[in-house]
Copies of this chain bind each other. A is one copy, B any other.
């Protein structure tokens, strides 16, 4: 019942504590006969190492934390998957903390993690307010890698995806398939990702005289608001109605798609649609959705590798800012 300690194992095997520890950590130092005796004692007692004591002695834990904005978001679950894959056989254990876009929760998690002396942290911070706390962690010797946020200051590693490029890709594709009247359906511009995606889209549109990009700014990036945006678009007279819509994420796009179908407008015949994120359900929509895909797993994997490097290189580590390129996946919703 009460889990037994190394001391009892030692007594039962008739050896010293140090020898038991050696069996556990450097078995080749111990004579085979003794080793076997100790192992037997361990199994009969059902001994389980106490990790707290181990860590206390070692001065740090073997776990790495990933702090995400939303565990339910497929984007982050894939990032976590990537990170886990990268750290799988490094002896480290990955734990996932969910800040839920709540600065207070984030703060609490970071405090906890520091108390636990985690080996390192991968984090997508809720806002820029977290910066001071993160600086502190770094000063205290805990490596931090930023995920999906480029780092302005060069004193940490970060991985991100080029959202401006993503916007360019989407709109370039729409122009190439013949569209001239294009709508951008976005969310609050306070979200950096939304702003960047729009910037890319606008830049491409501005390069051509005959292309016009209108903007619909919705309060949030949900299907419900997508439907609402769809209504507004469908209500326009055929001549002034955009023939293509680029949405800041897939949920918006699904909403728009749904509304078009309901109104009897053909996709992509009357209106082409391109989303962003390439979530699993994008491909499964009634009309499979074109979307700008981000290398989610790769993002997590790379972040983990940077962290791993930082942990091992120690003082002479050079921080790196990695930026990935998104990729356009063309499906039926924007086929010619």
Write the residues of chain A forming the contact surface with B, with a CB cutoff of 8 angstroms: 1-3, 46, 48-56, 61, 71-72, 74, 77-78, 80-81, 84, 93, 95-98, 112, 114-117, 136, 139-141, 223, 251, 254-255, 257-258, 261, 281, 283-287
The winner among A55, A74, A97, A261 for most chain B CB atoms within 10 A is A55
The winner among A95, A115, A284 for most chain B CB atoms within 10 A is A284
CB distance from A21 to the nearest CB of B (A): 15
CA distance A48 to B77 in the complex (A): 30
Residues of B within 8 A of A114 (CB): 48
The reply to whether B61 and A72 contact each other, CB–CB distance below 8 Å, is: no
CA distance A261 to B287 in the complex (A): 9
21 A/B residue pairs, CB under 8 Å, sorted by A: A46-B136, A48-B115, A50-B115, A51-B115, A51-B116, A52-B55, A52-B56, A52-B116, A52-B117, A56-B56, A71-B71, A71-B77, A71-B80, A72-B77, A72-B78, A80-B98, A251-B284, A257-B286, A258-B285, A281-B284, A285-B285
The reply to whether B77 and A141 contact each other, CB–CB distance below 8 Å, is: no
Q: Which residue of B lies closest to A46 (CB)?
A: B140
CA distance A80 to B95 in the complex (A): 14
CA distance A72 to B115 in the complex (A): 28
The reply to whether B96 and A96 contact each other, CB–CB distance below 8 Å, is: yes
The winner among A74, A97, A115, A254 for most chain B CB atoms within 10 A is A115
The reply to whether B50 and A117 contact each other, CB–CB distance below 8 Å, is: yes
CA distance A114 to B255 in the complex (A): 46
CB distance from A141 to the nearest CB of B (A): 6
CB distance from A48 to the nearest CB of B (A): 5
The reply to whether B2 and A141 contact each other, CB–CB distance below 8 Å, is: yes
CB distance from A309 to the nearest CB of B (A): 19
Residues of B within 8 A of A97 (CB): 95
* Of B74, B95, B139, B261, the contact of A1 (CB 8 Å cutoff): B139
* Of B48, B56, B78, the contact of A53 (CB 8 Å cutoff): B56
CB distance from A180 to the nearest CB of B (A): 27
